[in-house]
Structure 1
């Protein structure tokens, strides 16, 4: 985390643009004296290494600084936006893993059949589509051609103040298209990975032995073969968690989803260094946590690891 903070801090401050000038412009403009006073107020007049040491010291205490744009603590801004992003990312990840794995298993049972070829073509198409392009196509399809789904925001203004199941269904209704956009891109990867992993496992000795014992085909596939084929899928899922966060930035922008992605975009446009650093720090923490959970899940998937 310290290394991530150092790299992000250096890259952000090396980018062109001056936050003091942006703040002065939003205030209606100002001369050099006004810009210098803004820099002094936010500590931007100090050398870069002193700014980093100050920021690092505050970060380890949970203080991510004040947002230049919103004039609020960055931690409170992230707390407001983190829920929608987690909802979007986890929904897309779980659906992509579940559906992609089932498609891969289905394709591996008859690898030379027409259905297997359809899954392969679908996977290649999903891998080739940029996530923002997929989102724009869904907006056009369900917003203009067949307007049956909401294409913007997280809530319907007509349901303002709703609670309970009414509020939950409203959120789920708005979640469909953003989650589907992320799911389509990553589902393709899991289906191809599951197909390749299952083909390898189905040709192993213990699977042939299980079939020779007369076990039911579904038991052989889902209890014996699939469990061993899940190891590379779980590994990729943990490693791709960071890619899902970065993909969510584009998806949230396309669908105006009020998560960390739109907050990061606003911070980039406004040269809001503390907010952008806070979002990057939380994203890095997500990735580290996901990799830790991936390592721990190996013990549940593979009984041999528990035995050791």
Structure 2
């Protein structure tokens, strides 16, 4: 797929995920690398996989790296355990993990506010053997409402994402309807209306969903979109997904948000894995 076609379809609203791209560099060097590659917007998973509350000096250093690079942080995950790795969130896991998530919420909100970031992503969490799923769901709703209030305090939205069953077999939200159902529950319980669906086209395709139908049904509930090709979760053009057509459909349906590039570069430098996208299409407008 020609990169110029995808750039046109996405209306030049790309944001680069620095937790999966440019990982050949130390974290603090990645914002500058994204800027050097022509991007003006970046997003991140929670960078400290073992620490929901890192030292202020670590937060300050990342903030300076983003500001010095001149890029905008457009999305940030709450603490979710080991990503990449076996963990898929913490907020529905009773005990220490749930407590770590709650300790992380205000840290994330304050950091996001300091950089003008307006989208915070909360991964639901895996099912735990021996724990009643209903207990996990009740805990998840409580913690998601807590997160929605923190997001609302800084004028941000709370994103809720569907993953996919083959790669995340213990994660309960593996379809668009399941994730949107949680969005509705959070909005009803919190009374804020700031929860939105994170539409990851790679994950949804891995789950076998009809992507044009998902776009038609849920664009008006969507706060962020992420893409990678399938199979392989590689760069656009390495698989079979008609990403240019899908993004074009999204824009025609009224989506005006960012499109996160969340693909694996493979065994080549990230800059080479971005060659499909002309530099003129990389700056978010």
TM-score by length of 2: 0.23
Is the radius of gyration larger for structure 1 or structure 2? 1
RCO comparison, higher one (Cα < 8 Å, 6+): 1
TM-score by length of 1: 0.22
